[in-house]
């Protein structure tokens, strides 16, 4: 990076030997971390390494048991995020906190009492919001209502909210996991602009290329401890992977041919459906998925992927067409799809894929508890859960840990573990490696390829073209709810698919 | 401007101890406040509290009387708890209990010549069925038309109330006594024959009503059901995350209706117990005044929707009710006992907030300079974070 941070006398924000424990888990173990004004500082580490916990300490959401937080060289004790906001520290969470029915400008000023008078005058601030957006190269209209915006645009509103409130330190926890590649580029530009203007940015991501592109320095955590801080210019993806895992990471190749060409186990014909707003989201979608193949669904977010998955799973009513799973025509009920052999990793995790207040054991048996009798067999379920925790390397105290206590990536592992171990004939997986660290991403991809090899038909919905190219035998492109083409991997190249995703060419 | 602000900060975790000492502190606080109210109104708090203990426990027959008050509250408390646990807000235990009474009284009268065990059993079954069918109405409306079950179940309480009055006061129904001299002066229901009087179990001097034994049994059953059965598992998932439940292939509609069935059946059993254990007659006025259904909501809340805790909660409210009845007299107006009950419930339920949040008082200082867009400060040396307590690093690090 050209504008490397000056090693100023005192860092803008620092954690000094911070220890944070949860019942039986040391999430942060004497962690040291500093971020200077004018730099983008990346936090790296495996799932459950303690990154989110550290950020929550830095923003006053958690109080550390030992150690302290330093702002501008002064030790402080924060009691709530409110205190952090007063000091100009803001965090953009993965779950956005926006009011859907209000405009961008309204959301920006909402709940902020320092914007002048008592009266709520969002109209007046629209020009200011627009200017702020422009200054940082963010493309978003202040008058637009939140529900009209894409996920990437909503994230920009969150950043604007922080900037408007005088953020000098911005913390972003896995901001890119929900973004399209283009949106990632925009975000990187915005964060660099913030650093140039003297702000400090903390950035978490599991994708090493992004981290290398955006950051000035990188701090690596492993099992709650600081491994070290390095200058981005002086490191490489391999070196970082080594620091995170503590050994060399081998990247496998999943390209080995699956025995494609089996019988059709998932058949979609003339499928039509509407989105939540009641406008058509799927138009006449027809696809055949064969046993033993992985069909990748490529497309820019919001082109019908969510609706497609939900209709197949019977969780969204269809307005036309038919779904046939393993030869059985579906009426469109979730239990019917599960019983005929559908495994499904949904796009929404918390509250849909898992029940946050229930234990790991309960969440793991969510889809097969019906196979037993009226009386639950708790002991057997616990044993099975322990087995899956081991096999999928879920970092948790034990099977009784509540799902909401899991780190983001381990929650994802839980869902993947349940669906991949269910013995399904058809798997529909939506961004299966979202939020997973490098190692877990590898093993989930291997498992998906193995499933296909065993004769499962896999539908892989992902915005990550690399993932699709790595795994899929055939690639279907969704654009505005239509399948604009299905290509064999051999005849597909990234540019062609990219153009199809943008609606510019047909297959 | 107010010189301080109060903030509620969620506790990071709930410790077991907090769950114990907060309610205990709340009860102590309530006793102090109620004591002050008593003193102001010219009563000696200590003698009053002593009287309460006598009236609820120590006087001859007092504890038996307490159990009489406890029994219906446990039924309605359980009815509310199972539904609330699944986030189905059945406010209709009141009406479901009325229906249970109507059915049990009808069956008890109709079958009176049969042997007692058969009559008692038939009363229980009919009470439960009537309550569950009544509850299934708002359940079905909620499941298929997404109507608000709070309103529908509440309004059905009034309908059930009128139905009861109609049977006794405004018609010559099967339930109404038309022959006895007393009934000519004032309308009333037919009294059940001995075969319809539920037996009580006498332990030392305490008479434990059959209904209470049944209610405790139901507590255990519900507890076991929630923990150990497929049905209970579905309840837990639905109560925690309804969308995860439908994702897991649970039939939400059927589940809503069936849980209303269960809830209504428990409330209806309570109605049957009112007729069989205590009143031996369909008594619209008595049931209406008692408001067991609504008090059951308080029981469920106190028990945090846990069927086993509901036993304790119902007993607690039973003690209060019974003591309140015993205290009432010319010097002790009914309003005062109501006030005391209110204070206690307010403190105990309100104390939840202290279990869940840190409450912190901050002095308000002058706000940070207003920030305007377009002139984002290039990170000036950080202004001292005024709202926070500044502490020395060394001291903190220890
Ligand atoms: N509220 C909580 N209660 C109990 N344990 C928790 C809680 N929050 C985090 N943990 C535990 O602390 C550890 C660190 O979690 P954290 O969320 O900080 O990980 P992370 O580095 O952000 O991982 P990921 O990359 O998966 O998001 C994990 O083992 C997690 O289970
Ligand atoms: Mg995390």
pLDDT, mean of each 10-residue run, chain B (398 residues): 67 69 87 92 89 87 92 98 94 97 97 95 98 97 94 96 94 90 86 93 91 97 94 93 93 94 98 96 94 94 92 92 82 84 87 78 50 36 37 33
**pLDDT at residue A2 in the model:** 40
Q: pTM, whole model, 2 decimals?
A: 0.85
Quick check: A151 and A92 in contact, CB under 8 A?
Answer: no
**Residue A492 and residue A501: Cα distance in Å, rounded?**
13
B382/A168 CB distance under 8 A: yes
Cβ-nearest to A334 among B246, B358, B367: B246
**pLDDT at residue B251 in the model:** 92
Is the pLDDT confidence value at A256 over 60? Answer: no
* φ and ψ at residue A504, rounded to 5 degrees: -90, -25
Name which residue sits closest to atom 4 of ligand 1, judged by CA: A405
CB contacts under 8 A, B 5-34 vs A, are: 7, 9, 12-13
The secondary structure of residue A88, as a DSSP letter, is T
Atom of ligand 1 nearest to the CA of A53: 18
What ligand has the least distance to the C-alpha of A412?
1
**pLDDT at residue B380 in the model:** 36
Contact of B228 with chain A, judged by CB distance below 8 Å, is answered with yes
Report the DSSP pairing between strands A328-329 and A318-325: antiparallel
User: What tokens does A501 get?
Assistant: 């995703």
Residues 6+ apart with CB under 8 A from B208: B67, B200, B201, B202
**Residue B324 and residue A265: Cα distance in Å, rounded?**
70
The chain A residue lying nearest B238, using CA atoms, is A355
Cβ-nearest to B247 among A66, A116, A352: A352
How many Cβ atoms sit within 10 Å of the Cβ of residue A211? 22
- Rounded to a whole number of angstroms, the distance from the CA of B222 to the nearest CA of chain A is 13
The residue ranking higher by pLDDT, A426 or B11, is: A426
The residue ranking higher by pLDDT, B115 or A494, is: B115
**pLDDT at residue A250 in the model:** 66
**Residue B119 and residue B49: Cα distance in Å, rounded?**
42
Q: Mean of the per-residue pLDDT values for chain A?
A: 88
Give tens-digit pLDDT for A141-161.
888 888 888 888 889 999 999
- Rounded to a whole number of angstroms, the distance from the CA of A45 to the nearest CA of chain B is 24
**pLDDT at residue B51 in the model:** 87
Q: Is A238 helix (H, G, I), strand (E, B) or coil?
A: helix
Contact of B397 with chain A, judged by CB distance below 8 Å, is answered with yes
User: What tokens does A416 get?
Assistant: 């993947």
Name which residue sits closest to atom 1 of ligand 1, judged by CA: A405
**pLDDT at residue B387 in the model:** 37
End-to-end Cα spacing for chain A: 40
- Residue for token pair 């200011």: A128
Q: For residues A370-393, b (16+ Cβ closer than 10 Å) or e, as one string?
A: beeeeebeeeebbebbeebbeebb
Which residues from B are below 8 Å from A68, CB to CB? Answer: 391, 393, 396-397
Cβ-nearest to A72 among B236, B370, B381: B381
Q: For residues A262-272, b (16+ Cβ closer than 10 Å) or e, as one string?
A: beebbbbeebb
Average of per-residue pLDDT across A236-263: 74
- Rounded to a whole number of angstroms, the distance from the CA of A44 to the nearest CA of chain B is 25
User: What tokens does A397 get?
Assistant: 């105290």
User: What tokens does A467 get?
Assistant: 């993932």
Sorted by where each begins, the domain ranges of chain B are: 44-330
Beta strands in A348-456 (DSSP E): 426-430
What ligand has the least distance to the C-alpha of A411?
1
For chains A and B, CB pairs below 8 A equal 177
Is the pLDDT confidence value at A251 over 80? Answer: no
**Residue B239 and residue B304: Cα distance in Å, rounded?**
13
**Residue B149 and residue B260: Cα distance in Å, rounded?**
10
Atom of ligand 1 nearest to the CA of A221: 21
The chain B residue lying nearest A364, using CA atoms, is B248
What ligand has the least distance to the C-alpha of A221?
1
Name which residue sits closest to atom 27 of ligand 1, judged by CA: A408
**pLDDT at residue B389 in the model:** 39
Distances (CA, A) of A393 to A21, A258, A366: 21, 26, 19
CA of A48 to the centre of ligand 2 (A): 7
The secondary structure of residue A375, as a DSSP letter, is B
**Residue B171 and residue B283: Cα distance in Å, rounded?**
15
In sequence order, the β-bridge partners of residue B359 are B8
B247/A315 CB distance under 8 A: yes
Quick check: B37 and B386 in contact, CB under 8 A?
Answer: no
A163/B367 CB distance under 8 A: no
Answer CATH for B44-330 from 1.20.1630, 1.10.1200, 1.10.3470, 1.20.120: 1.10.3470
**Residue B140 and residue B147: Cα distance in Å, rounded?**
9
Residues 6+ apart with CB under 8 A from A12: A35, A36, A37, A71, A72, A168, A169, A200, B379, B382
Is the pLDDT confidence value at A432 over 80? Answer: yes
**pLDDT at residue B366 in the model:** 43
- Please state, for a pLDDT cut of 70, what percent of chain A lies above it: 93
- Give residues (CB < 6 A) around ligand 1: A 22, 25, 27, 45, 47-53, 395-396, 405-410
Residues 6+ apart with CB under 8 A from A193: A135, A136, A137
Distances (CA, A) of A140 to A130, A145, A167, B374: 8, 11, 19, 16
End-to-end Cα spacing for chain B: 38
DSSP A305-361: HHHHHHHHTTSS-EEEEEEEETTEE--S-HHHHHHHTEEEE-S-TBTTTB-TTSBHH
B381/A315 CB distance under 8 A: no
**pLDDT at residue A6 in the model:** 46
Quick check: A129 and A157 in contact, CB under 8 A?
Answer: no
**Residue B304 and residue B306: Cα distance in Å, rounded?**
5
In three state form, how does the secondary structure of chain B look? CCCEEEEEEECCCCCHHHHHHHHHHHHHHHHHHHHHHHHHCCCCHHHHHHHHHHHHHHCCCHHHHHHHHHHHHHHHHHHHHHHHHCCCCCCCHHHHHHHHHHHHHHHHHHCCCCCHHHHHHHHHHHHHHHHHHHHHHHHHHHHHHCCCHHHHHHHHHHHHHHHHHHHHHCCCCCCEECCCHHHHHCCEECCCCHHHCCCEEEECCEEEEHHHHHHHHHHHHHHHHHHHEHHHHHHHHHHHCHHHHHHCCCCHHHHHHHHHHHHHHHHHHHHHHHHHHHHCCCCHHHHHHHCHHHHHHHHHHHCCCCHHHHHHHHHHHHHHHHHHHHHCECCECHHHHHHHHHHHHHHHHHCHHHHHEEEEEEECCCCCCCCCCCCCCCCCCCCCCCCCEECCHHHHHC
**pLDDT at residue B340 in the model:** 86
**pLDDT at residue B377 in the model:** 36
Give tens-digit pLDDT for A193-241.
999 999 999 999 999 999 999 999 999 999 999 999 999 999 998 899 8
Give tens-digit pLDDT for B61-81.
889 999 999 999 999 999 999
Quick check: A76 and A18 in contact, CB under 8 A?
Answer: no
Q: Which stretch of A250-254, A390-394, B240-244 has the lowest confidence by average pLDDT? A: A250-254
Place A3 in a pLDDT band, splitting at 50, 70 and 90. Answer: very low
Residues 6+ apart with CB under 8 A from A228: A219, A220, A243
**Residue A67 and residue A85: Cα distance in Å, rounded?**
21
Give tens-digit pLDDT for A259-313.
556 889 999 999 999 988 888 999 999 999 999 999 999 988 888 999 999 999 9
CA of A53 to the centre of ligand 1 (A): 6
How many Cβ atoms sit within 10 Å of the Cβ of residue B25? 14
Cβ-nearest to B241 among A67, A135, A351: A351
**Residue B326 and residue B318: Cα distance in Å, rounded?**
12
Which residues from B are below 8 Å from A166, CB to CB? Answer: 368, 371, 376-377
Quick check: A39 and A200 in contact, CB under 8 A?
Answer: yes
Give tens-digit pLDDT for A57-66.
999 989 899 9
Give tens-digit pLDDT for A75-106.
888 888 888 988 999 999 877 888 888 888 88
Report the DSSP pairing between strands B4-10 and B357-363: antiparallel
Contact of B396 with chain A, judged by CB distance below 8 Å, is answered with yes
How many Cβ atoms sit within 10 Å of the Cβ of residue B22? 17
Quick check: B141 and B152 in contact, CB under 8 A?
Answer: yes
Give tens-digit pLDDT for A102-148.
888 888 887 666 545 556 666 777 888 888 888 888 888 888 888 88
The chain B residue lying nearest A81, using CA atoms, is B9
The chain A residue lying nearest B13, using CA atoms, is A22
Mutate to test the interface with B, among A57, A86, A163 (most CBs of B within 10 A): A86
Distances (CA, A) of A7 to A34, A311, B47, B184, B366: 11, 54, 74, 99, 32
**pLDDT at residue A98 in the model:** 87
**Residue A126 and residue A108: Cα distance in Å, rounded?**
9
In sequence order, the β-bridge partners of residue A110 are none
Q: Which residue of A402, A405, A414, A439 sits with most ligand 1 atoms within 8 Å of its CB, as the best mutation to test the pocket? A: A405
Quick check: A56 and A89 in contact, CB under 8 A?
Answer: no
Give tens-digit pLDDT for A441-477.
988 999 999 999 999 999 999 988 888 999 999 999 9
């Amino acid at each position: 990076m050209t504008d490397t941070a000056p090693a100023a006398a005192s860092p803008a924000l620092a954690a000094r030997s911070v220890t944070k424990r949860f019942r039986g888990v040391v999430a942060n173990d004497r962690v040291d971390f500093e971020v200077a004004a004018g730099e983008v500082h990346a936090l790296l580490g495996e799932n459950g390494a303690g990154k989110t916990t550290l950020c929550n300490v830095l923003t006053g959401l958690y109080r550390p048991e030992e150690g302290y937080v330093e702002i501008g060289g002064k030790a402080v004790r924060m009691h709530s995020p409110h205190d952090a906001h007063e000091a100009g520290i803001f965090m953009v969470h993965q779950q956005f906190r926006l009011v859907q029915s209000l405009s961008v400008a309204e959301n920006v000023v909402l709940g902020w009492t320092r914007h002048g008078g008592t009266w709520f005058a969002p109209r007046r601030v629209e020009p200011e919001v627009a200017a702020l957006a422009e200054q940082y190269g963010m493309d978003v209209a202040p008058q637009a209502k939140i529900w009209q915006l894409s996920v990437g645009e909503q994230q920009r509103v969150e950043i604007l909210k922080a900037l408007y409130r005088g953020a000098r330190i911005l913390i972003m926890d896995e901001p890119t996991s929900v973004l399209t590649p283009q949106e990632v580029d925009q975000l990187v530009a915005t964060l660099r602009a913030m650093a140039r203007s003297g702000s400090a940015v903390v950035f978490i991501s599991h994708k090493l290329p992004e981290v290398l592109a955006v950051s000035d320095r990188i701090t690596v955590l492993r099992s709650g401890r600081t491994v070290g801080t390095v200058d981005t210019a002086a490191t490489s993806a391999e070196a970082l992977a080594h620091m995170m895992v503590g050994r060399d990471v081998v990247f496998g190749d999943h390209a080995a041919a699956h025995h494609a060409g089996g019988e059709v186990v998932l058949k979609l014909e003339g499928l039509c459906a509407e989105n939540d707003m009641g406008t058509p989201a799927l138009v006449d979608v027809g696809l055949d998925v064969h046993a033993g193949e992985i069909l990748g669904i490529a497309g820019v977010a919001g082109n019908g992927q969510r609706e497609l998955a939900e209709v197949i799973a019977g969780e969204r009513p269809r307005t036309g067409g038919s779904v046939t799973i393993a030869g059985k025509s579906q009426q469109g009920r979730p239990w019917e799809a599960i019983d005929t052999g559908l495994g499904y990793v949904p796009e929404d995790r918390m509250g849909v894929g898992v029940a946050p207040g229930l234990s790991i054991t309960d969440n793991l048996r969510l889809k097969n508890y019906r196979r037993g009798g009226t009386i639950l067999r708790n002991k057997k379920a616990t044993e099975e859960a322990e087995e899956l925790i081991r096999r999928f390397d879920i970092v948790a105290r034990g099977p009784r840990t509540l799902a909401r206590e899991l780190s983001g990536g381990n929650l994802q592992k839980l869902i993947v573990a349940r669906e991949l171990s269910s013995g399904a004939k058809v798997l529909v997986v939506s961004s299966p490696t979202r939020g997973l660290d490098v190692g877990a991403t590898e093993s989930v991809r291997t498992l998906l390829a193995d499933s296909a090899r065993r004769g499962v038909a896999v539908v892989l919905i992902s915005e990550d073209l690399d993932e699709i190219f790595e795994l899929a035998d055939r690639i279907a492109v969704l654009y505005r709810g239509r399948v604009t083409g299905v290509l064999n991997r051999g005849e597909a190249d990234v540019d062609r698919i990219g153009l199809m995703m943008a609606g510019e060419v047909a297959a | 401007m107010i010189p301080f602000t109060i903030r509620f900060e969620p506790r990071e975790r709930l410790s077991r101890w907090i769950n114990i000492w907060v309610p205990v502190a709340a009860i102590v606080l309530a006793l102090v406040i109620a004591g002050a109210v008593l003193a102001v109104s010219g009563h000696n708090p200590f003698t009053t509290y002593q009287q309460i203990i006598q009236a609820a426990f120590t006087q001859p027959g007092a504890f038996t009387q307490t159990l009489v008050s406890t029994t219906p509250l446990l039924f309605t408390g359980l009815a509310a708890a199972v539904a609330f646990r699944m986030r189905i807000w059945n406010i209709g235990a009141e009406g479901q209990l009325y229906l249970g009474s109507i059915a049990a009284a009808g069956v008890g009268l109709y079958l009176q010549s049969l042997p007692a065990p058969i009559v008692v059993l038939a009363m229980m079954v009919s009470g439960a069925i009537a309550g569950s069918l009544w509850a299934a109405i708002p359940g079905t409306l909620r499941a298929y038309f997404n109507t608000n079950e709070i309103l529908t179940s509440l309004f059905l309480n009034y309908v059930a109330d009128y139905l009861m009055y109609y049977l006794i006061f405004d018609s010559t129904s099967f339930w109404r006594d038309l022959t006895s001299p007393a009934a000519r002066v004032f309308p009333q229901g037919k009294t059940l024959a001995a075969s319809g009087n539920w037996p009580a179990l006498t332990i030392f001097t305490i008479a434990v009503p059959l209904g209470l034994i049944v209610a405790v049994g139901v507590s255990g059953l519900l507890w076991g059901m929630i923990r150990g059965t497929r049905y209970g598992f579905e309840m837990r998932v639905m109560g925690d995350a309804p969308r995860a439940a439908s994702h897991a292939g649970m039939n939400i509609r059927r589940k809503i209706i069936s849980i209303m069935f269960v809830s209504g059946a428990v409330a209806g059993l309570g109605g049957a117990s009112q007729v069989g254990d205590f009143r031996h007659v369909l008594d619209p006025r008595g049931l209406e005044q008692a408001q067991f259904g609504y008090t059951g909501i308080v029981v469920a809340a106190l028990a945090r929707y846990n069927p086993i805790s509901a036993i304790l909660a119902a007993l607690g409210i039973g003690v209060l009710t019974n003591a309140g009845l015993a205290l009432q007299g010319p010097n002790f107006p009914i309003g005062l006992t109501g006030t005391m009950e209110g204070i206690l419930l307010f403190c105990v339920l309100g104390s939840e907030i202290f279990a869940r949040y840190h409450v912190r008082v901050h002095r308000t200082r002058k706000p940070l300079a207003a920030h305007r867009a377009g002139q984002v400060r290039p990170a000036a040396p950080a202004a001292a974070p005024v709202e926070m307590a500044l502490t020395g690093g060394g001291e903190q690090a220890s």
